[in-house]
Amino acid sequence: REALVSTAGRLNGSARVDAFLDFYFDFLDNTPKPRDDQIYDAMLCMAARSEPIKHQLQGQYKMIGQVLSQEFEVQYSELDAASAEELSYLFVCLMCGHWKMVASLGFAEKHRHISRQAMDRLIRSYREQAAVNEVTVWACEPEKKLSDRKIPQP
């Protein structure tokens, strides 16, 4: 968090969104993304059985999304709130999926170029055509007790 704030927090305008995206896809020269992806992978596994861990991760990803959604709205005035929120959700999904492939499955980090370019293409598409879904972005499913979940046992 400190690395991101120290970089993006100093910038204005279009450079802020680029700094966010570049940070999370590890393109900033002097501010490398922390190498904690295997820890997040483990935490996601643990979240299937732990409500506190699940809520903590939900909060972290939701916060990233909400901040980025605001940044999208500021930088791209043609985006409505729904489009900015969808873009922020797609960013978190793309970023998490990319780093899971790298950290847990051993794919080359250079794939970050593909993921970062995909984000640019998503932004362009939303600038051209607004969101049409009637989904509340960042909403969670109603709580279920862990005992009510059907989790296969090994």
Mind listing the pLDDT tens digit for each residue in 23-58? Answer: 888 888 776 666 777 787 788 888 888 999 999 999
User: What pLDDT is recorded for position 37?
Assistant: 73
Q: What is the pTM of this model?
A: 0.81
Separation of alpha carbons 34 and 112, rounded Å: 14
Q: Answer for the pair 31, 23: CB distance below 8 angstroms, yes or no.
A: yes
pLDDT in tens, 79-125: 999 999 999 999 999 988 888 888 788 899 899 899 999 999 999 99
Length of the chain: 154
- Looking up tokens 């051209």 gives 128
User: Of 41, 33, 21, which is closest to residue 117 (Cα–Cα)?
Assistant: 21
The most distant pair of C-alpha atoms in the chain lies apart, rounded to whole Å, by 51
User: What is the Cα Rg of the chain in Å?
Assistant: 17
Would you give the distance in Å from CA 62 to the centre of its chain? 8
